[in-house]
């Protein structure tokens, strides 16, 4: 594998020189392209645009850019979105989780040949990175527009997957519905809806050892549904691990007359910290145990986001 963990920011002038040398277009609006990162062999290009449809000339340029570099990743997303469509944006938590995935890939074989399920995949960035070394990756979310954009990003990066584009799957998964999801028809692709599940896919996901999620803690009801889904998945095998990245969100509470992170407090009720495990003294235990990962020990390969004190990364699994 030709990836390198050294990241070098490419200045705007270099981008225009690259565009000129490739003779694709005479001028580009760099507001559409605020992030362009280049380690020696890995390029991550995150396209921000108000519309998720790009002019043909730009699409052709990006594809030639992708073909020119040793490994490149192209992610299309919106600059703004409504609450139901937050999955159309790339958030700091996804970039933090992407940094963790890259660091793990560069320093270990933990994800090699893994079956991976991402919950609330959004644009698909993290799962697309993992597909470079994983056996099979499932990117799940809800809402047709989010799933369509995720599928576009999967296709834009199809040449980098270890086992080809057929190894990465975009599927609809609503946490409010009990796992497993409904199987609409048999395994015959011609008889299935675009983002529905086949029985064989459900069986494969139930064997997955790696679960991923970023920025999925919004409301108490959603958190409950999320952990209900995770719990049912982890019942299929105790070795499953969830890597979850979140950012605390604060609101003013009239009850407490203070600014509090109620959503985060509710999230923490679903698992016990490893550090507190030996001090429970026989009290009622939650189903999960977690360990907070020190993000200061993870190199920041993607520089264009801030790692504030409210950004957290957790490794969570069921009690054995």
| pLDDT, position 263 | 80
CATH number at residue 210: 3.40.50.150
Distance set, CA 307 to CA 51, 68, 257, 303 (Å)? 28, 32, 28, 10
The answer to whether residues 32 and 134 belong to one domain is: no
In a domain, 289, yes or no: yes
The whole-number pLDDT of residue 77 equals: 63
For residues 98 and 304, is the Cβ–Cβ distance under 8 A? no
Tell me: pLDDT of 256 over 60. no
- Same domain? For 50 and 120 the reply is no
CB 19 within 8 A of CB 25: yes
- Domain carrying residue 155: 85-318
Does residue 296 lie within any of the structural domains? yes
Contact 215, 120 (CB under 8 A): yes
- One domain for residues 262 and 171: yes
What pLDDT does residue 144 have?
A: 92
State mean pLDDT over 252-270: 66
Answer yes or no: do 74 and 90 share one domain.
Answer: no
More confident residue, 81 or 179: 179
pLDDT tens sequence across 158-209: 888 989 999 999 999 999 998 999 987 655 566 567 899 999 999 999 999 9
Tokens 């392209």 belong to residue: 33
Higher pLDDT, 121 or 319: 121
- Least confident segment among 28-32, 33-37, 312-316: 28-32
Residue 95 is classified by DSSP as: H
H or E stretch at 244: strand 241-247
1 within domain boundaries: no
**71 confidence band (pLDDT: 50, 70, 90):** low
Residue 236's pLDDT is 74
Q: Per-residue pLDDT averaged across 25-47, rounded?
A: 41
Average pLDDT, the chain: 76
Last residue of a domain, one of 80, 96, 113: 80
What pLDDT does residue 78 have? 67
Residue 214 has pLDDT above 80, yes or no: yes
In contact, 247 and 276? CB cutoff 8 Å: no
For the segment 21-33, the average pLDDT, to the nearest whole number, is: 32
Q: Are 245 and 121 found together in one domain?
A: yes
Both 99 and 164 in one domain: the answer is yes
Residues 98 and 214 in one domain: yes
Instruction: Tell me which of 143-147, 198-202, 235-239 is least confident.
Output: 235-239
- Does residue 39 share a domain with residue 111? no
The lowest-confidence range among 96-110, 207-221, 248-262 is 248-262
Q: Is residue 268 part of a domain?
A: yes
Q: What integer is the mean pLDDT of 30-43? A: 39
Between CA 248 and CA 260 the distance in angstroms is: 9
pLDDT at 248: 86
Residue 140 has pLDDT above 90, yes or no: yes
Say what the pLDDT of residue 279 is: 64
- Residue 112 has a pLDDT of 96
Domain boundary among 56, 80, 104: 80
Angle at which helices 144-156 and 56-68 pack, to 10 degrees? 50
pLDDT at position 196 is 95
Based on the structure, what is the number of domains in the chain? 2
> For the chain, what percent of residues have pLDDT higher than 70?
64
């Amino acid at each position: 594998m030709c990836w390198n963990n050294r990241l070098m920011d490419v200045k705007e002038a270099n981008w225009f020189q690259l565009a000129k040398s490739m003779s694709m277009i005479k001028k580009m609006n760099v507001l559409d392209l605020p992030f362009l990162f280049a380690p020696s062999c890995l390029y991550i290009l995150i396209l921000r645009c108000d519309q998720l449809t790009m002019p043909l000339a730009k699409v052709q340029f990006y594809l030639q850019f992708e073909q020119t570099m040793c490994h490149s990743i192209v992610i299309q997303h919106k600059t703004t979105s409504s609450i139901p469509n937050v999955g159309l944006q790339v958030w700091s938590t996804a970039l933090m989780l992407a940094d963790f995935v890259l660091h793990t890939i560069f320093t270990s074989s933990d994800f090699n040949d893994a079956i991976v399920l991402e919950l609330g995949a959004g644009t698909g960035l993290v799962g697309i990175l993992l597909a470079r070394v994983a056996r099979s990756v499932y990117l799940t979310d809800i809402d047709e527009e989010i799933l369509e954009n995720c599928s576009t990003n999967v296709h834009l990066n199809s040449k980098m997957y270890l086992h080809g584009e057929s190894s990465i799957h975009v599927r609809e998964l609503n946490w409010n519905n009990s796992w497993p999801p409904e199987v609409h028809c048999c395994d015959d692709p011609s008889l299935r809806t675009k983002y529905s599940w086949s029985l064989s896919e459900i069986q494969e996901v139930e064997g997955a050892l790696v679960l991923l999620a970023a920025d999925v803690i919004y409301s108490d009801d959603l958190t409950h549904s999320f952990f209900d889904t995770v719990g049912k998945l982890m019942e299929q095998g105790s070795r499953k691990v969830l890597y979850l990245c979140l950012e605390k969100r604060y609101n003013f509470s009239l009850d407490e007359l203070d600014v509090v992170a109620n959503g985060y407090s509710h999230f923490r009720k679903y698992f016990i910290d490893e550090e507190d495990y030996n001090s429970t003294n026989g009290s009622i235990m939650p189903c999960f145990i977690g360990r907070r990962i020190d993000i200061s020990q993870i190199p920041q390969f993607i520089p264009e986001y801030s790692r504030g004190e409210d950004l957290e990364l957790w490794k969570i699994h069921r009690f054995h």
